[in-house]
Amino acid sequence: MRRSLVLAAAAVTTAAAATVYVASTASAAVACAGAWSSSAVYTNGMSASQSGHNYTAKWWTQNESPATHSGQWDVWADNGACGGGTTPTTPPTTPPTTPPTTPPTTPPTTPPTTPPASGSLPAHIVTGYWQNFDNPANEIKLAAVPNTYDLVAVAFADATSTPGAVSFTIDAGLSASVGGYTNAQFKADVATLHSRGKKVIISVGGEKGSVSVNDSGAATNFANSVYSLMQTYGFDGVDIDLENGLNPTYMAQALRSLRAKAGSSLIITMAPQTIDMQNPAGSYFKLALDIKDILTVVHTQFYNSGAMLGCDNNAAYGQGSVNFIVALTCIQLEAGLRPDQVAMGLPATTGAAGGGYVSPSVVNQALDCLARGTNCGSFRPPRTYPGLRGAMTWSINWDVTAGNGWANAVSPHVHALP
C-alpha cells in the first residue's frame, strides 16, 4: 500500500516459474502410503494413497481427493502407482494450460469446503484501508468510514526497536488535519464501527514499513505486540502488508501464536503485490498456503505492476484490464486457496496508485467473470468460483475524496454475488 500521492509503477518483467510434473517410467514396486481420509488434515510433505497411487500434499488440505486434485496447479502431487504395476508417464489429471475460449454450458465450479471462522464476516465482503497519516487524500476519523465497507484495515502499525514487535498510535499530522484526534477517541470509534456490524483490523507494513520477523524470538514479539494492540484498541485481527519481503516460516509461527491467543474469531488477511502471488513456491504465496487453515482472505494489489502471467501460464497480461485481474486471481484459485480466501485489490482513484486503476465497472466485470462466468474479457478461467470473497480498495480516504464512487458501485455488486 502506498502513502504518497505519486507512485512509480513497478514494471515487473520477471516470468514466474511453473511447477512441472516429472514422472518416472520405472516399474512401481513401492508400498502404498496410508489411505487418504476426507476428514484428515494433511500439510506440506505428508503422504496418502488412493486408487492405487501414492500422493504427497503440497500444502494444507482437507477433504480434497488426491485423485481429482493432483497436477500442476493443485494441492496433491501424484507420485505414481503403488503396490505393484507401473507408473504412468503422465499424471492422471492435469489442468488445461490454456483456458477454453468459450465457457461450457454449465461452467464447472470449485467444490465448496468448510472455511475457518473469520470473525463473523459476511460471505462476500468489501475491504478498505483507512489512512493513519495525512496526504492529498481527505483525512477522516475512523467513525466517518462509510457503511459500504465491511472490513476496515487501519494503515499502519509500525516497527519498534524490538525485533518483530509493532506499535500503533494516532499520527500527529492526521490529528491536526481533523481538528484533534486522540488514541482514546480512535478506540471509541473502533467500538462505533463494531456497533454497526463492521470489523476493524490493524495492517502491518505498507510501502514504507520495515517490520521483520526472521526468527522465533521475533515471531513471539510480533504475536505478543499485535495481541496487545487488539486488547488495547479492539482490533479484530491483523493484515500482513509487508512489501519488502517476509520469511514464511517465522511469520506463520507468529500468526499461529497470535491465533492461539486470540481464538478462532481472529481475522488474518494479506495484501501481497502481484509478483508475490505468481508462484506457490514464493514466500508470500507459501505463507498463505501454510496457514490456509486459519487464513481469512488474501486481497492482492492488482496495481503498481508490470505485465504478469496469468493462470494459463501462456501470456503476460497488462495491468489495468479485466483480463489482468481475472487471469492473476485465477492463479490463487487454481493453486490452492479456497474462493472464500481470495479477493481482488484495486485503487479507488487514479491518484491512489501509480498505475493499474480501472473503473468500478471493470471491477464488477471481473467479479462476474470469476463468480458467474459472465462478462469476461478475452481470457476465461477454467471454471467459476461463486464463493469468491469480494474486493478491496486502497484507500477509503481516496474513495471519500472522489465522492465514494468506488464503494458505492462495487459494494452492491459484491454483496449480490452467488
Is 139 marked active-site?
no
Q: Which residues contact 383 (CB under 8 A, 6 or more apart)?
A: 107, 108, 109, 110
> Among 144, 29, 7, which residue's Cα sits nearest to residue 85?
29
Cβ atoms of 24 and 38 within 8 Å: the answer is no
Cβ atoms of 322 and 373 within 8 Å: the answer is no
> Among 298, 409, 404, which residue's Cα sits nearest to residue 349?
404
| Cα 348 from Cα 363, distance rounded (Å) | 11
* Per annotation, catalytic residue among 64, 139, 207, 243: 243
| Cα 325 from Cα 233, distance rounded (Å) | 35
The helix, strand and coil proportions of the chain, stated in percent and rounded to the nearest 5, come to: 30, 20, 50
Residue 368 host element (H or E)? helix 360-372
Q: Tell me, what DSSP letter sits at residue 372? A: H
For 247-279, letters b (16+ CB in 10 Å) and e give: bbbbbbbbbbbbbeebeeebbbbbbbbbbbbbb
Q: Tell me, what DSSP letter sits at residue 375? A: S
Provide the annotated active-site residues.
243
